[in-house]
């Protein structure tokens, strides 16, 4: 009987698109939707095999192997994303060279020889890799299959052939883990070569010193992001200019009058699993020149005096953290600041992910 290694690679194979170039094409910004579809499917399959381990564990060896093969070809596919227009193979069985060897002669061959993929299976895998949208997806397929081959060589073909279905389901989940890691690496490469920015607009009002004075502010930030693969996550971080225009009312003015414009440098960073960006910090890097308000106070005899008054720090922008955005161009989320040290405000934060020509 064939060795059922790669229970189902349907998720890996459907990630190609109808206009996919031949294998060897670099994964670029336009390939991000295909990479993410591939990643979501690999994650679903990994979870499905993990969840099925307990069911298989209660079966005998032969029964569990048959049950796993039936599960892999049917229920494991539930919820997977089809990619319209893809015409490549819909599934893939990893068949070992050992299937063509009489069991009585296993000892005459090395584990490398017995665990190697059969010629027909290797050809079918190559066809699938050629059909993928870009080389990052093809390499993720290869990473998945390499996990099976390495495991077979480590324990020996005879032991691999007799594995309990639950153990094989665990191995399958680990192979999807290798595939997921490779896909995230490809996504990190795409992000590093694209124009990625975190942008935000925020309108705030400060009433903490009312009726002496009150202020309204309009702030905007555009912060380019750079991608680095760190463990199982992709780190995005960078810094850029933040411009703020402030209007003041009441008995206080700025030295320049009723309005003040300032620009400072702010750093924003977050992590992404390849699907969702989680903004985790927002730091002010540079500082604006110290500003002192000029406030008029009435004296007991009806006169006025001008008293220098410290300008309150604009704290609202520090709240742009713990925000989650889908990892796609134009994704955005509202920002609300409610009664924080006299500040209230609202705005919007967005992710810009633009392809650069040739990248």
For residues 94, 100, 106, 108, the Cα torsion angle rounded to the nearest 10 degrees is: -120
Q: What is the pLDDT of residues 306-341, one digit of tens each?
A: 888 887 666 555 667 789 999 999 999 998 887 667
Q: Would you state the structure tokens that stand for residue 164, as one six-digit string?
A: 């309990």
Q: Which of 207, 223, 248 is nearest to 351 (CA)?
A: 223
Of the residues 192, 225, 241, the one at which a domain ends: 192
**One domain for residues 95 and 133:** yes
Q: Give mean pLDDT, residues 62-85.
A: 85
pLDDT score for 131: 83
Answer whether residue 55 is part of any domain: yes
C-beta of residue 29 within 8 angstroms of C-beta of residue 353: yes
How far is 347 from 219, CA to CA, in rounded Å? 9
Residue carrying structure tokens 């009489």: 102
Q: Which of 229, 199, 239 is nearest to 354 (CA)?
A: 199
Q: Would you state the structure tokens that stand for residue 90, as one six-digit string?
A: 């819909």
Q: Classify strands 292-298 and 252-253 as parallel, antiparallel or unpaired.
A: antiparallel
Radius of gyration of the chain (CA): 29
CA geometry: angle 141, 191, 227, nearest 5 deg:
105
Instruction: Report which DSSP code applies to 358.
Output: T
C-beta of residue 34 within 8 angstroms of C-beta of residue 131: no
pLDDT score for 232: 84
pTM surpassing 0.85?
Answer: no
**One domain for residues 215 and 349:** yes
Q: Classify strands 233-250 and 304-310 as parallel, antiparallel or unpaired.
A: unpaired
**One domain for residues 63 and 151:** yes
Domain containing 332 equals 195-354
Of the residues 174, 192, 210, the one at which a domain ends: 192
Tally of structural domains, the chain: 2
**One domain for residues 181 and 212:** no
For residues 47, 52, 53, 55, the Cα torsion angle rounded to the nearest 10 degrees is: 160
pLDDT score for 339: 67
Q: What is the pLDDT of residues 132-169, one digit of tens each?
A: 888 999 899 899 999 999 999 999 999 999 999 999 99
Q: What is the pLDDT of residues 99-115, one digit of tens each?
A: 889 999 999 999 999 99
**One domain for residues 55 and 148:** yes
Answer whether residue 5 is part of any domain: no
**One domain for residues 182 and 277:** no
**One domain for residues 16 and 157:** yes
**One domain for residues 145 and 231:** no
Q: What is the pLDDT of residues 245-281, one digit of tens each?
A: 999 999 999 988 999 998 889 999 999 999 999 998 8
pLDDT score for 21: 39
Does the bond joining 152 to the residue before it have cis omega, within 30 degrees of 0?
A: no
Answer whether residue 2 is part of any domain: no
Those residues whose C-beta lies under 8 Å from the C-beta of residue 289, and which sit 6 or more positions away, are none
Q: Torsions phi, psi of 296, nearest 5?
A: -90, 130
Beta-bridge mates of residue 324: 278
**One domain for residues 188 and 242:** no
**One domain for residues 143 and 248:** no
Query: How sure is the predictor about 84, in pLDDT bands with cuts at 50, 70 and 90?
Result: very low
Answer whether residue 3 is part of any domain: no
**One domain for residues 128 and 263:** no
Does the bond joining 211 to the residue before it have cis omega, within 30 degrees of 0?
A: yes
Q: Torsions phi, psi of 83, nearest 5?
A: -110, 110
How far is 205 from 337, CA to CA, in rounded Å? 10
Those residues whose C-beta lies under 8 Å from the C-beta of residue 351, and which sit 6 or more positions away, are 196, 197, 198, 199, 277, 325, 326, 327, 328, 329, 330, 331, 332
Answer whether residue 63 is part of any domain: yes
**One domain for residues 158 and 30:** yes
pLDDT score for 314: 62
Q: What is the pLDDT of residues 1-58, one digit of tens each?
A: 233 334 333 333 333 332 333 445 889 888 899 999 999 999 999 999 999 999 999 9
pLDDT score for 4: 36
Those residues whose C-beta lies under 8 Å from the C-beta of residue 346, and which sit 6 or more positions away, are 202, 203, 334, 335, 336, 337
Of the residues 192, 211, 228, the one at which a domain ends: 192
Q: Which of 135, 120, 99, 138 is nearest to 9 (CA)?
A: 138
How far is 33 from 16, CA to CA, in rounded Å? 10
pLDDT score for 153: 94
Answer whether residue 4 is part of any domain: no
Q: Give mean pLDDT, residues 214-219.
A: 92
- Transcribe 141-171 into DSSP letters: HHHHHHHHHHHHHHH-HHHHHT--HHHHHHH
């Amino acid at each position: 009987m064939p060795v059922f290694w790669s229970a189902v690679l349907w998720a890996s194979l459907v990630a190609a698109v109808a206009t996919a170039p031949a294998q060897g094409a670099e994964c670029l910004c336009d390939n991000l939707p295909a990479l993410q579809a591939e990643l979501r499917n690999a994650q679903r399959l990994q979870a499905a095999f993990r969840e099925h381990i307990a069911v298989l564990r209660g079966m005998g060896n032969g029964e569990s192997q048959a049950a796993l093969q039936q599960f892999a070809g049917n229920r494991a596919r539930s919820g997977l994303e089809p990619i319209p227009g893809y015409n490549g193979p819909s599934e893939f069985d990893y068949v070992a060279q050992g299937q063509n060897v009489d069991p009585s002669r296993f000892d005459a061959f090395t584990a490398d020889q017995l665990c190697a993929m059969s010629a027909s299976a290797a050809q079918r895998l190559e066809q699938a890799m050629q059909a993928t949208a870009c080389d990052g997806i093809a390499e993720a397929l290869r990473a998945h299959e390499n996990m099976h081959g390495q495991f077979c060589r480590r324990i020996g073909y005879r032991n691999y052939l007799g594995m309990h279905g639950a153990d094989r389901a665990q191995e399958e989940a680990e192979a999807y883990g290798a595939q997921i890691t490779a896909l995230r690496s490809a996504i990190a490469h795409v992000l590093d070569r694209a124009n990625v920015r975190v942008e935000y607009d925020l309108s705030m009002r400060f009433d903490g010193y009312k009726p002496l004075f009150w202020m309204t502010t309009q702030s905007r930030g555009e912060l380019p992001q750079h991608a680095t693969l760190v463990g199982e996550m992709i780190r995005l971080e960078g810094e850029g200019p933040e411009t703020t225009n402030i209007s003041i009312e009441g008995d206080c003015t700025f030295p320049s009058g009723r309005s003040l414009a300032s620009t400072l440098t702010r750093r924003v960073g977050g992590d992404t699993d390849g699907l969702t960006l989680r903004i985790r910090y927002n730091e002010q890097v540079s500082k604006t020149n110290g500003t002192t308000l000029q406030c008029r106070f009435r004296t007991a005899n009806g006169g006025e005096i001008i008293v220098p008054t410290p300008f309150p720090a604009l704290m609202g922008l520090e709240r742009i953290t713990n925000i989650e955005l889908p990892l796609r161009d134009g994704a955005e989320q509202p920002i609300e600041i409610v009664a924080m040290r006299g500040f209230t405000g609202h705005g919007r934060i967005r992710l810009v992910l633009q392809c650069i020509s040739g990248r």
